[in-house]
Structure 1
Amino acid sequence: MGIFAHRQVMTHTGSGRLVKSTIRSLRILEYVEEQGSVRLTDVASEFDIGHSTAHNHLVTLEHEGVLVRRDGRYSLGMKFLKHGVSATQSIPYIEVIRRNVLELAERLELEIEFLVEEHGRVVSVIDTGYKFTKYPTADSNLNVGTFYPMGCTASGKAILAAMSESDVEEVLDEWGLPESTQYSITSREVLSEELEQVRERGYSSAKQEIVEGFDNIGVVITGPDGTIIGAITVGWPSYHFETSVPHQIVDQLLHTKEAIEAEMQTTEA
């Protein structure tokens, strides 16, 4: 039995009972995503279920277009691409944000990312990667769709700093403060002090807290009614700046935040 089968499943929520078979199908999709492609026997072994049960899940998911089968192996279908695009387009002012993110990336020649909070974590929605950067060790991989804990990311800290105290506690109660690297914040008291600093200076920072060798700073983006929409971050390899972050980068990020929020005032969501 694999790790996906061992993931804790709550069968009740405050609003009703969860359907275990649906949860298992979703776990199977996660397993397929992680593996790239799987055989029926892989699923049966991973979830400790009979071949007929594994087959029923797989053919149902294939019938619904979320899995495709080639040469006896199942992989994710392109239907997820449509779902992802639809989810992205549902974010208020996403085109305003996208345009400004790309413009900022071109000006700074650094990685710019836009992330939103969902169920107590942040997820990458727009990531310029290192398309606009000049440093030779640049990695071209994009992080779109990747979820991160909030307490050790610049985006998460920027959003947490804009949340109410009760909402922050709810996030921490659900997800805690995982130690992603040796530099991650694992104390609520330390995080609380840092969030206060974020509120005072207007931007957040994370130095090697989510990935060793990578630093970034971030700002929260709020709508005209004060609703938190997401956060924009600027990131770079830790060696890129020997001491503190150049004030020009901070200024450019803050300017982009102001430009986006000003344009929102005259644009429909």
Structure 2
Amino acid sequence: MATVMDNGRDLTVMLIADRCAPDGDAAAGFQRDLHALGARLLPAGQPMLAVGPAARLGDLAAGAVGGLWRVLGVVLLASFVLLLLTFRSLLIPVKAVAMNLLCVCAAFGLLTVAFQDLGREGADVNALLPLVVFTIVFGLSLDYEVFLVHRIAEHYRRTGDNTAAVLHGLRHTARPITLAAAIMAVTFGGLMLTRRLDFQQGGFAVAAAIILDATIIRMVLVPCLMRLLGHRNWWLPGFRSRRGSAP
């Protein structure tokens, strides 16, 4: 149903009533059809503005997706620089950023399988989740990375033995990382008991990412890579000559 209100000069307002849920695919498709119709009927350059719950949700989702790349760039660059300055290594921050991205991508893959492929029909992943989950997971993952690598770097600089340093780091951080990850996974997993689908998806994604990060990433992949890279883990152009005594 549509009602037209025209002021007779330069503005036409159309009130359109529909039966679509504002956050559903039907509402999004309806908004696209309206804009396509306006583009065909209105003169060139004439703007068409839409308001209402569905339009606001669409604008919010578009803004979140558009801002994701800027947030991604800032977080990755800041993480790289911070780890570079902390550990005086070029490969450590590169490895940390790559592992964290792998963890986030794997978590979203599990989220898609759980809620779209195996879940109820029409349970699309909320458009705001990538931005929110990425920032939360990346911050938590860097915490675990710093805990582990700091122990390894401390032992390596004292002994110069990379293999022994990796074992030392695992031995002294496995329990606190596991306990911290379990607490965070249970906390965010509790959101899955709510009735809101977006809360369920967010809780599942963060909990899955934390479990993957604390087990496969932090306890298996990172130590294996550091063991294989050996002394190259601690390479930084020009740093050895400036420190002189650094191993």
| TM-score normalised over the length of structure 2 | 0.28
**Which structure's residues are more often strand, by fraction?**
1
Pair member with larger Rg: 2
**Which structure's residues are more often helix, by fraction?**
2
Bigger RCO (CA 8 Å, 6+ sep)? 2
| TM-score normalised over the length of structure 1 | 0.27
